[in-house]
Structure 1
Amino acid sequence: MTADVVIDIAREVVWVIVKTSAPLLIVSLVVGLVISIFQTITSIQEQTLTFVPKFIAVMAVLVLAGGWMLNDMTSLFVDLVKSIPQYIK
């Protein structure tokens, strides 16, 4: 296995990680920003006010996009396992 192959595999793995984590991170960021603006406007500084809505939003996205995320990660793993004989040569 050459260095180019290892770099290609690493690049593909990192890309799948970015693709599958992006929806969760974006939703968490948006919900956190909205809650932060709400807290600033109302002067409410409750810690659970930021945690609970983020948790619910992330779980909702996970329910909605979880199948796609799992399929994406599974296909990467299957491709890597199928390619093992090529990498050994």
Structure 2
Amino acid sequence: MDPQVVLDLYGQGFYLIVIMVAAVMVPSLIVGLIVSIFQAATQINEQTLSFLPRLIVTIFAIMHLGPWLLTTLTDFFNQLFLDIPMLIG
């Protein structure tokens, strides 16, 4: 197997993981920024005020993006599994 093929597969897998993590974490980061701006404007320094909305948004994102995440990961694995004969030979 050519080292370039291995690097391409690694790159595709890494890109897929980055996209999947970003899809879940970006909404949480946006909510965290909004809550931080609210806390700075009102001078409320409550730790649970910043944690709970981010937790809820992250769980909500996982619930709604779960089927897409699973389908994307399964498609990548299936393509990788079907390409094994080409990669070996």
- Taking structure 2 as the reference length, what is the TM-score of the superposition? 0.92
Consecutive unaligned residues in structure 2, runs of 5 or more: none
What is residue 14 of structure 2 aligned with on the other side?
Answer: 14
CA–CA separation in structure 2 for the residues paired with 1:77 and 1:48: 39
CA–CA separation in structure 2 for the residues paired with 1:25 and 1:75: 22
Deviating above 4 A after TM superposition, structure 1's stretches of 4 or more consecutive aligned residues are none
- 1:1-89 equivalences under 5 Å are 1-89=1-89
CA–CA separation in structure 2 for the residues paired with 1:88 and 1:36: 52
**Aligned residue type for 1:88:** I
**Aligned residue type for 1:25:** M
- Taking structure 1 as the reference length, what is the TM-score of the superposition? 0.92
Kindly report the root-mean-square deviation, in angstroms, between the aligned alpha carbons of the 2 structures. Answer: 1.0
Aligned residue pairs: how many? 89
- Percent identity among equivalent residues? 38
